[in-house]
Chains A and B, each alone.
Chain A
Amino acid sequence: MLIKKPEIPSSEITSKDLYLNRRKFLAGAALAGAAAATGIAFRALASPSLTAAANAKIDGIQKSGLSAAEKQTPYKDVTNYNNFYEFSTDKYEPAGAAKDFRTRPWTVTIDGAVKKKQVLDVDSIIKMAAPEERIYRHRCVEGWSIVVPWVGFSLSELIKRAEPLGKARFVEFTTLYDPKQMPGQRVAVLKWPYVEGLRMDEAMHPLALLCFGMYGEVLPNQDGAPLRLVMPWKYGFKSVKSIVRIRFTDDQPMNSWQLSAPNEYGFYSNVNPNVDHPRWSQAKERRLGEFSKRPTLMFNGYDQVASLYSGMDLKKNF
């Protein structure tokens, strides 16, 4: 299949970048000596036009048969309670810390064992397929869960267009590394940049979602803008945010959490009530907004993925 040409040629993106840098430089020079003032100028430059307009509606969203018929978690909770260590390890802080995060211009590098190595503008990726609303259960490894109406399309749409080589057995995703914008990256809590990986058949599964919106709107910064994964049958940390690179490989990638604690976090990290985290039980979960805990379901209730793991010992491959 042919790759759709990005609507904005990459040359233009580069020039915009340079243009901004020059403005930054001029602003800085004009205010030389006043460090604070430079900071303000930088802020002013980084503001609205560069972040995708928050709360902007996404047009033409189609309903999906893969959606769960469950009560959705309030928008306020999903946007104010975030595990996004690039901004802060405190779940209540990314909402504020990511406010000025620049999500445009934004490019995604596609490389590794793939026919079409390329750098794509995020807006051209978003236009690859029709946006669908997928209401998914989302279970954090910490034991809480939410139900979110994500907007995106199957990751397979992008992978098919990239034409991976036969030897590509895995896909690796990398989050942006920019400690200037992501204050959490100034601390070595995890090895930066954040890396996640999927087996090719997992990545090609229709449930695997390439996501750029939620609640009918553009994805808020603290929820992984401008482009993230949503892997509903896996623990939340597998759903990598703010993606800048997608690499196809024949080796199983080492994901950040596995690197940080290999005895606690595995490569697969499928939601599994029968395999406890070494430090806490995974049998139950607290759905945000509910008082009692509810039982956690195998594969988070997405039984259709079970065949991907048939014959595998899920206690070993946790």
Chain B
Amino acid sequence: MNRTQITKVLIFLAALVPLGRLAWKAFHDGLGANPIEVITHSTGDWTLILILTTLSITPLRKLTRQYWLIGVRRTIGLFAFFYGVLHFTTYIWLDKFFDWHEIIKDVAKRPFITIGFSAFVLLIPLAITSTAGWIRRMGGKNWQRLHKLIYVTAVLGVIHYIWLVKADKHKPLQYAFVLGVLLLYRVGTWALEMRKKTAPPSARRRPVEATEA
């Protein structure tokens, strides 16, 4: 096994820890007075944490020059989707008990549910097209374009959290801060690239000539 494979296995095991902990607590009367609330919050938290983790892979590998890290991003992304599914299932089953009429009303009427639902739906095509086969079929450029949707999901997911909180917004704002930093990094690299592209070749070469002189 190479480094990427070992890391993938470790990520796989680590990503199952939150679920394992919930299950263990559920069977040992450890989820407190309102277990369903705990399950809803925990699965929601881990969806967001894992989405932010996938978004940190690109900056991390560039800053640390550990380019192989790209090989583990899909695993993390799929686990984000996995926890998203659990979170969504908790909502439609344990909160709404498959009362579709109520669910549709909720999605249409309650902004925090509308955007949480949208964030989840937008993850579905990303999960489906996560295989090597789909990348080939779509072509790298199109695939990358589609997967830019993760930014939309991340932003909607964080707003979903901010909007549902009653008064104490400290925790969702921590997520918002991390997301802000990760998005700023993108804006920064994009601006740098634009400057490189638009600057005339002579302007780019000049400092080099100066040292040569």
Contacts and interface: CB of A to CB of B under 8 A. Distances in A.
Contact of A292 (B34, B97, B105): B97
B163 interface: yes
A279 interface: yes
Contacts of A279: 110-112, 163-164
Nearest to B110: A279
B102 A281 contact: yes
Contacts of A280: 110
Interface in A272-318: 279-281, 286, 288-289, 291-293
B97 A293 contact: yes
B34 A288 contact: yes
20 contacts: A76-B33, A78-B33, A80-B32, A80-B33, A81-B32, A81-B33, A85-B167, A89-B168, A91-B33, A92-B32, A189-B168, A190-B167, A261-B167, A279-B111, A280-B110, A281-B105, A286-B34, A288-B33, A288-B34, A293-B97
Contacts of B34: 81, 91, 144, 286, 288
A61 B128 CA distance: 64
A239 B10 CA distance: 49
A260 B167 CA distance: 8
Query: What are the nearest 4 A-B pairs in CB distance?
Result: A81-B33, A89-B168, A77-B33, A189-B168
A136 to B, nearest CB: 17
Contacts of A178: none
Secondary structure at the B interface, as helix, strand, loop or mixed, is helix
Contacts of A85: 167-168
Chain B interface extent, by class: 10 to 19
B36 to A, nearest CB: 7
Residue of A78, A190, A292, A293 most packed against chain B (CB within 10 A): A293
Interface of B: 32-34, 36-37, 95, 97, 102, 105-106, 110-112, 163-164, 166-168, 170
Contacts of B106: 281
A142 interface: yes
Interface residues of A, number: 25
Nearest to B167: A189
A73 B12 CA distance: 39
B205 to A, nearest CB: 55
Interface in A57-82: 76-78, 80-81
A144 B110 contact: no
A136 B62 CA distance: 60
A280 B165 CA distance: 11
Nearest to B163: A279
A292 B36 CA distance: 10
Contacts of A291: 36
B27 to A, nearest CB: 15
B172 to A, nearest CB: 12
A240 B200 CA distance: 69
Nearest to A83: B166
A287 to B, nearest CB: 10
Given A279-B164, A293-B95, 10 more contacts: A76-B33, A77-B33, A81-B33, A92-B32, A144-B34, A187-B170, A261-B167, A286-B37, A292-B97, A293-B97
Interface in A166-211: 187, 189-190
A259 B35 CA distance: 31
Nearest to A142: B166
B36 A286 contact: yes
A289 B37 CA distance: 12
A293 B37 CA distance: 12
